[in-house]
Amino acid sequence: MPFRLLISARDPAAAYHLTEVARHAARDPRFELTLVAQEPALSIMRAGGLSPLPIELEKAVKAESAEGIALLAAAERVLAEHRPDAVLCGLSTPFDGGIDEAIFARASMRRFLYQDFWGERNAFFGPGPDVCLVLDRMAAEMTWNRHRLPSVVVGSARHAAYADLAPAKRRLDVRRRLGIAADVAVYALFGQALAALEGYRKTVEAWVEAVQSLPGPRVAAYRSHPRENDDDRRRTLGVIRNAGLDVLSLDGESVEDALLAGDVIGSAFSNCAYDAAYLNFFSEQPLIVPVCLFFEPGVVEYFQRIVRLKEWPYLKSGLVLPVYRREDLSKALAHAAGDDAKRRYWEAARGNLLSPDGASQRVLDAVLGDCSRNP
């Protein structure tokens, strides 16, 4: 009898990773798969050719709220109907709750978290995972030190698909399609759902001022985060346009194509920097410099409070160019667009990242192996 595995996702990053895992599980005769998703993961998985059961409920900001009660009831219904042998849920932001956290709270079977950010878990409704499936050894150590949870290192499921992407060739195709001349430097801002933070708004303004000051042919581009609403998008676009910059919207592009369109990718602390590093990893030539806009105190304090890290592990590995002072931003962006910087961060990616090849298979093998030891 096949092993009944329920996979759920809510966060965009979780959706991209678990889409790859679900594709492998659907082809693996050992598994009978049930796939559940809540927005924004639902749209991402559908775009990836999957057909998750939709959980069309709002996120909860308080566990005892009407939204929280509805999510827990939905989790109970899904678990009762499909009777999985184990559940594998994605990681979501720690300040609200969704279907992943509700399933963990109501599941009586073995619970696995696919952790796409080092040492994190979301225990919004209380109970959390039994085992974390993590990116690397550093993530496993942080997860144990912070939560005393066992981990299995499986790698980055999402980025295994980049092996077939041919990033350098695809970059040429993307830029040609978008009408970007070969001699133009593209500075792309990747948004985050942080509009409530004054420090984030100041970060966007500083990025705009810096790009405006740069010499030579250049294009300002912007891609919003799936969690940003229309007002957030309009506000950021307004800041860029009010400064007199034409802006290229990348919202209609996949994450990978949006990254490949740019020469310099700026964000406060988005995981797009990790995606850019993996594009460099699989490229035969230097492509992109991810830049961390980490100079506004409000953003730094928020990151350290929510994520509880001094800085990202991939910053420590030299995969991203950090900017810690606003007055250094213009110079840093100009440097990042140059060949020397592109080569440096390309070499860092190829020298420090683990190959993600086989990550989805390792996820599935880890679930079966753990459940055989813990029936």
Asked if the peptide bond before residue 226 counts as cis, ω within 30 degrees of 0, the response is: no
pTM of the full structure = 0.89
The answer to whether domain 3-156+356-373 and domain 162-352 are alike in fold is yes
**Hey, what amino acid is at 135?**
L
Q: Which tokens belong to 205?
A: 């303004």
Q: What are the pLDDT digits (tens) for 118-148?
A: 888 998 998 899 999 999 988 999 899 989 9
Q: Quick one: CA dihedral 100, 103, 105, 111, positive or negative?
A: negative
For residue 143, the model assigns a pLDDT of 93
Any idea which fold 3-156+356-373 has? Answer: Rossmann fold (3.40.50)
User: Binning pLDDT at 50, 70 and 90, where does residue 315 land?
Assistant: confident
According to the CATH classification, is domain 162-352 in 1.10.530.10?
no
For residue 270, the model assigns a pLDDT of 85
For residue 99, the model assigns a pLDDT of 97
Q: Which tokens belong to 312?
A: 């990202």
Mean pLDDT score of the chain: 92
User: Binning pLDDT at 50, 70 and 90, where does residue 365 land?
Assistant: very high
pLDDT(283) > 80 = yes
Q: Residue ranges per domain, the chain?
A: 3-156+356-373, 162-352
Q: What are the pLDDT digits (tens) for 73-98?
A: 999 999 999 999 999 999 998 789 99
For residue 228, the model assigns a pLDDT of 84
For residue 74, the model assigns a pLDDT of 97
For residue 243, the model assigns a pLDDT of 84
For residue 324, the model assigns a pLDDT of 92
Full 3-state SS string of the chain? CCEEEEEEECCHHHHHHHHHHHHHHHHCCCEEEEEEECCCHHHHHHHCCCCCEECCCCCECCCCCHHHHHHHHHHHHHHHHHCCCEEEEECCCCCCECHHHHHHHHCCCEEEEECCCCCCCCCCCCCCCCEEEECCHHHHHHHHHHHCCCEEECCCHHHHHHHHCCHHHHHHHHHHHCCCCCCCEEEEEECCCCCCCHHHHHHHHHHHHHHHHCCCCEEEEEECCCCCCHHHHHHHHHHHHHCCCCEEECCCCCHHHHHHHCCEEEECCCCHHHHHHHHHHHCCCCCCEEEEECCCHHHHHHHHHHCCCCCCHHHHCCCCEEECCHHHHHHHHHHHCCHHHHHHHHHHHHHHCCCCCCHHHHHHHHHHHHHHHCC
